[in-house]
């Protein structure tokens, strides 16, 4: 097994600020661990407030020139980033697995997904449009001019260390904004590698800054308190999101918040069970269940509950657990010991309240932060795991007998990020689509993430959308210009407005009866 750390030289484990890779002002560093072994794999710079503000200096200095860069040029740089990530996908994937723990096949999928944001927004960069129209009252014209918001601060999570940064950086650069990214302390290496790639393809200094730190609260707070910051985008827990929203309010920042989830996956009795099982495995076990859109609660209609539960448990029990870089591994390590302890406590709580374990449910001995794929049935409504975000390979199954019942249970949460429904009845599917309080819904499909689709939730799962055409709008302000131009619109007298010369054929006026 080759060493994935060979792709990230020691000089690229520093802060990326402006045109330089630099040590933290204090000289401090912190360790990054392999969650499958608990061993340190790298030391990276541990920034403080001085470093964070230096990054904001660089982003602010670069802002005017980057905003004035022709959209086609910005597009070409994003396309070059996409190509570089694609060409080096195996290196990036191995680095993701090493610092985050997911199996290598999952990491490869993340690289493809993350790279696609750069390709998508390279196409969007040249399609930012305003409009020109006649005011309804006449007498003047309405012009709308989209402009980049300004320097952006991004706080990204550890579960998708490339894709979550790409989903923010790509639209920001396409819109003409500069960026400061603070990656999660557990997984900073992938974002540093992305910054190196973007430097190599020619993204100008100061446009993409990366600040790694274990002192996230104080560094991010200082950035949000500085009037030069104009946008915050955060992906993480609802609890931290609430804190950041309060801080962002002081300077009335534009915000995009992709927060916690508690997705319900509903299997109706009329569903194709093979399709439902395939979809449930993807929705539950993608990224080892460490995903905000993971199926957190699985509701199965009573007539098929027993068969679905048995077949689902069989599939979960057949998965192979181990180091993500090893061949044949389906389930890698969880991110840290706290995650394993939380999941173990949620399973114990459900069992204490009457749930039965069909497979898994026993925490293995170390080393590494592992928990086996687990399926529980007869999970009562008061089990903590039905309210908490499990964020791991544990699937509680609950039966239901009517659509109204399951709809009420699915909506009984403060979250509203994603949901899944499996049914062959189109009308039933549409009733769920209209009745479920979610920002995203998969019908007969367990994978819904796509750079060309708007990703985001409702209720306390977030604000705004990422990806799709809507994603670039999050990084644009709109200036309305009223232009005085009295009188109705009329021909300017140019040749194009002149009547046809004598003898020149003209198109006949169609009869009203024609179709």
pLDDT at 493 over 90: no
> Quick count: other Cβ atoms within 10 Å of Cβ 512?
5
Q: Where are the domains of the chain?
A: 4-259+466-477, 263-450
pTM of the model: 0.93
So what's the pLDDT on residue 488? 60
Distance between first and last Cα of the chain: 70
Q: Helices in 226-318 by DSSP H: which ranges?
A: 238-250, 273-285, 302-317
pLDDT at 502 over 60: no
Asked: is 263-450 a CATH 3.40.50.2300 domain? The reply is no
φ, ψ for residue 281, nearest 5 deg = -65, -40
Question: Distance between CA atoms of 88 and 67, rounded to whole angstroms?
Answer: 29
pLDDT at 510 over 80: no
How does residue 6 score in pLDDT terms, banded at 50, 70 and 90? confident
So what's the pLDDT on residue 8? 76
pLDDT in tens, 260-294: 999 999 999 999 999 999 999 999 999 999 999 99
Counting other chains too, the contacts that 507-511 makes at CB distance below 8 Å and 24 or more residues apart are none
Query: What is residue 293's three-state secondary structure?
Result: coil
List the CATH code of the domain at 4-259+466-477: 3.40.605.10
Catalytic residue among 33, 91, 116, 258: 258
Question: Distance between CA atoms of 79 and 365, rounded to whole angstroms?
Answer: 45
Query: What is residue 140's three-state secondary structure?
Result: strand
Question: Distance between CA atoms of 124 and 126, rounded to whole angstroms?
Answer: 5
How does residue 500 score in pLDDT terms, banded at 50, 70 and 90? very low
pLDDT at 363 over 80: yes
Give the mean model confidence (pLDDT) for residues 228-248: 98
So what's the pLDDT on residue 492? 53
Give the mean model confidence (pLDDT) for residues 400-428: 98
pLDDT in tens, 93-106: 999 999 999 999 99
Q: Which residues contact 360 (CB under 8 A, 6 or more apart)?
A: 316, 317, 371, 372, 373, 374, 375, 393, 394
DSSP letters spanning 470-512: HHHHTTEEEEEEEEE--S-------GGGSPPPTT---PPPPPT
pLDDT at 436 over 60: yes
Q: How far is CA 286 from CA 295, 373, 468, 475, 484, in A?
A: 10, 12, 22, 29, 57
Domains 4-259+466-477 and 263-450 share a fold: no
Per-residue DSSP letter, 203: P
How does residue 9 score in pLDDT terms, banded at 50, 70 and 90? confident
Per-chain mean pLDDT for the chain = 94
Q: How far is CA 207 from CA 59, 65, 92, 389, in A?
A: 6, 10, 22, 35
pLDDT in tens, 365-413: 989 999 999 999 999 999 999 999 999 999 999 999 999 999 999 999 9
Question: Distance between CA atoms of 181 and 229, rounded to whole angstroms?
Answer: 12
How does residue 486 score in pLDDT terms, banded at 50, 70 and 90? confident
Residue 258 falls in the annotated catalytic set:
yes
pLDDT at 507 over 50: no
Question: Distance between CA atoms of 47 and 215, rounded to whole angstroms?
Answer: 7
Residue with tokens 């309210």: 387
pLDDT in tens, 103-133: 999 999 999 999 999 999 999 999 999 999 9
Question: Distance between CA atoms of 293 and 170, rounded to whole angstroms?
Answer: 21
């Amino acid at each position: 097994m080759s060493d994935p750390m060979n792709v990230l030289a020691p000089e690229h484990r520093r802060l990326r600020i402006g045109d330089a890779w630099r040590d933290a002002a204090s000289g401090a560093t912190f360790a990054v661990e392999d969650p499958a072994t608990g061993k340190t794999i790298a030391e990276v710079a541990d920034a403080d407030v001085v470093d964070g503000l230096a990054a904001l200096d660089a982003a602010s200095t670069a802002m005017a020139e980057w905003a004035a860069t022709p959209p086609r040029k910005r597009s070409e740089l994003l396309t070059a980033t996409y190509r570089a990530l694609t060409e080096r996908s195996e290196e990036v994937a191995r680095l993701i697995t090493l610092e985050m723990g997911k199996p290598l096949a999952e990491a490869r999928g993340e690289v493809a997904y993350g790279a696609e944001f750069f390709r998508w927004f390279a196409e969007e960069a040249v399609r930012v449009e305003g409009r020109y129209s006649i005011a309804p009252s006449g007498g003047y014209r309405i012009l709308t001019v989209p402009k980049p918001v300004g320097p952006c601060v991004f706080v990204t999570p550890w579960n998708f260390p490339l894709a979550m940064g790409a989903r923010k950086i790509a639209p920001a650069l396409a819109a003409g904004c500069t960026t400061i990214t603070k990656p999660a302390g557990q997984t900073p290496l992938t974002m540093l590698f992305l910054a190196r790639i973007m430097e190599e393809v020619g993204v100008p200094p100061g446009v993409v800054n990366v600040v790694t730190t274990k002192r996230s609260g104080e560094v991010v707070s200082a950035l949000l308190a500085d009037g030069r910051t104009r946008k915050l985008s955060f992906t993480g827990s609802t609890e931290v999101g609430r804190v950041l929203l309060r801080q962002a309010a002081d300077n009335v920042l534009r915000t995009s918040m992709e927060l916690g989830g508690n997705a319900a996956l509903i299997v109706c009795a009329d569903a194709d069970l093979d399709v439902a099982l395939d979809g449930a495995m993807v929705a539950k076990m993608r990224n080892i269940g460490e995903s905000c859109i993971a199926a957190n609660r699985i509701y199965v209609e009573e007539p098929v509950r027993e068969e679905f539960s048995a077949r689902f448990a069989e599939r979960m029990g057949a998965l192979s657990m181990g180091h993500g870089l090893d061949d044949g591994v389906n389930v890698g390590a969880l991110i840290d010991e706290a995650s394993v302890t939380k999941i173990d406590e949620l399973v114990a709580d459900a069992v204490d309240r009457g749930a039965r374990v069909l497979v898994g449910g026993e925490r293995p001995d170390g080393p590494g932060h592992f928990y086996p794929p687990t399926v529980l049935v007869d999970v009562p409504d008061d089990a903590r795991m039905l309210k908490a975000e499990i964020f791991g390979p544990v699937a509680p199954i609950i039966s239901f007998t009517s659509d109204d019942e399951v709809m009420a249970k699915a909506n009984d949460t403060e979250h509203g990020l994603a949901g899944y429904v499996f049914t062959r009845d189109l009308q039933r599917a549409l009733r769920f689509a209209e009745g479920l309080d979610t920002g995203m819904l998969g019908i007969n499909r367990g994978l819904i993430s796509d750079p060309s689709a708007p990703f985001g939730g409702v209720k306390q799962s977030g604000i705004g959308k990422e990806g799709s055409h809507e994603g670039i709008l999050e990084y644009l302000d709109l200036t309305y210009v009223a232009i005085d131009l009295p009188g109705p619109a009329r021909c300017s007298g140019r040749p194009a407005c002149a009547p046809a010369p004598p003898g020149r054929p003209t198109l006949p006026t169609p009869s009203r009866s024609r179709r």
